[in-house]
């Protein structure tokens, strides 16, 4: 990391303000009173404020820039996000992740890359509340969900009106089940069954579009797509 180049690019005013904020935080409540982990976060905030590190760094960026292990970088990012991210922001990130899953044939389900360790923990906590668990054995950044867990997570983000609409469309299109959870599960299972071996862009986009329509409350626009799933 070329500090001279970074501070020159940031300019005197930004560097002065960043240093002032760092010293205020470091000296409160007294010099040397804060634990090492807190001091590391203050240094990271200083580096972010002068542009040495991006605002929402990936674990790879942080590990590379600071010459630390990726595990250490994830720990720092987790502690930083824990202090700055709201519950609603975490919900929104999970919702966005659900719109871009990868269909996995080997595990008969869905996989998502989750860079933020806090978002990943937030997602897992929501699933555990409903008795579902995620598989992260392949990679700490990749979470895999079966159709039942995926359906439960999608249902969590639907309003009462959206649930009613989705239930009607799915049942009419041929999905099986007596509840919305079962209808969503049978649809997602059919999606995996039909498209897991097909890597065509049109198919991948179609699968993502279906989940987007469900989450956005525009599932009527995907009715023909869902009917074709169950006709095959």
Question: Both 133 and 80 in a single domain?
Answer: no
The shares of helix, strand and coil residues in the chain, as percent rounded to the nearest 5, are 65, 10, 25
Question: Both 97 and 117 in a single domain?
Answer: yes
String of DSSP letters for 184-227:
HHHHHHHHHHHHTT---HHHHHHHHHHHHHHHHT-GGGGHHHHH
Instruction: State the Cα–Cα distance between residues 18 and 24, nearest whole angstrom.
Output: 10
Question: Both 32 and 7 in a single domain?
Answer: yes
Question: Both 94 and 57 in a single domain?
Answer: no
Question: Both 102 and 79 in a single domain?
Answer: no
Instruction: State the Cα–Cα distance between residues 150 and 126, nearest whole angstrom.
Output: 11
Question: Both 48 and 149 in a single domain?
Answer: no
Question: Both 204 and 110 in a single domain?
Answer: yes
Of 52, 84, 116, the position where a domain reaches its end is 84
Is 202's pLDDT higher than 50? no
Choice between 136 and 88, residue whose per-residue pLDDT is larger = 88
Could you report how far apart the first and last alpha carbons of the chain are, in Å?
56
Of 84, 119, 149, the position where a domain reaches its end is 84
| Domain interval for residue 80 | 3-84
Of 84, 108, 131, the position where a domain reaches its end is 84
The per-residue pLDDT for 166 is 92
Is 48's pLDDT higher than 50? yes
Count the domains in the chain.
2
Instruction: State the Cα–Cα distance between residues 110 and 115, nearest whole angstrom.
Output: 16
Closest CA to 172 of 86, 107, 230: 230
Looking at every residue in the chain, the average pLDDT score rounds to: 83
- What would you report as the CA-atom Rg of the chain, rounded to the nearest whole angstrom? 22
The per-residue pLDDT for 195 is 72
Question: Both 200 and 129 in a single domain?
Answer: yes
Question: Both 197 and 140 in a single domain?
Answer: yes
Question: Both 78 and 100 in a single domain?
Answer: no
Identify whether the C-beta of residue 182 lies closer than 8 Å to the C-beta of residue 124.
no
Question: Both 191 and 98 in a single domain?
Answer: yes
**Global confidence as pTM:** 0.73
Sheet strands (E) in the chain: 102-104, 109-113, 135-139, 142-146
Question: Both 75 and 115 in a single domain?
Answer: no
Beta bridge partners, 142, equal 113, 139
Beta bridge partners, 145, equal 110
């Amino acid at each position: 990391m070329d500090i001279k180049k970074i501070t020159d690019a940031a300019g005197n005013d930004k560097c002065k303000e960043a240093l002032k904020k760092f010293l205020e935080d470091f000296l409160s409540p007294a010099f040397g009173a804060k634990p090492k982990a807190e001091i590391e976060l203050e240094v990271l905030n200083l580096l972010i404020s002068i542009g040495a590190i991006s605002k929402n760094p990936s674990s790879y960026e942080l590990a590379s820039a600071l010459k630390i292990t990726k595990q250490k970088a994830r720990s720092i990012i987790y502690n930083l996000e824990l202090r700055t991210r709201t519950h609603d922001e975490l919900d929104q990130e999970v919702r966005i992740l659900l719109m871009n899953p990868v269909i996995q044939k080997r595990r008969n389900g869905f996989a998502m890359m989750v860079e933020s360790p806090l978002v990943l923990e937030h997602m897992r906590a929501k699933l555990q509340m409903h008795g579902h668990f995620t598989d992260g054995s392949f990679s700490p950044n990749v979470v895999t969900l079966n159709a039942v867990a995926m359906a439960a997570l999608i249902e969590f983000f639907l309003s009462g009106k959206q649930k009613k609409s989705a239930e009607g469309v799915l049942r009419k299109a041929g999905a099986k089940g007596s509840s919305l959870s079962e209808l969503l599960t049978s649809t997602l299972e059919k999606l995996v069954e039909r498209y897991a071996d097909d890597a065509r862009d049109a198919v991948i986009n179609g699968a993502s579009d279906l989940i987007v329509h469900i989450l956005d409350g525009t599932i009527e626009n995907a009715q023909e797509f869902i009917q074709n799933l169950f006709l095959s």
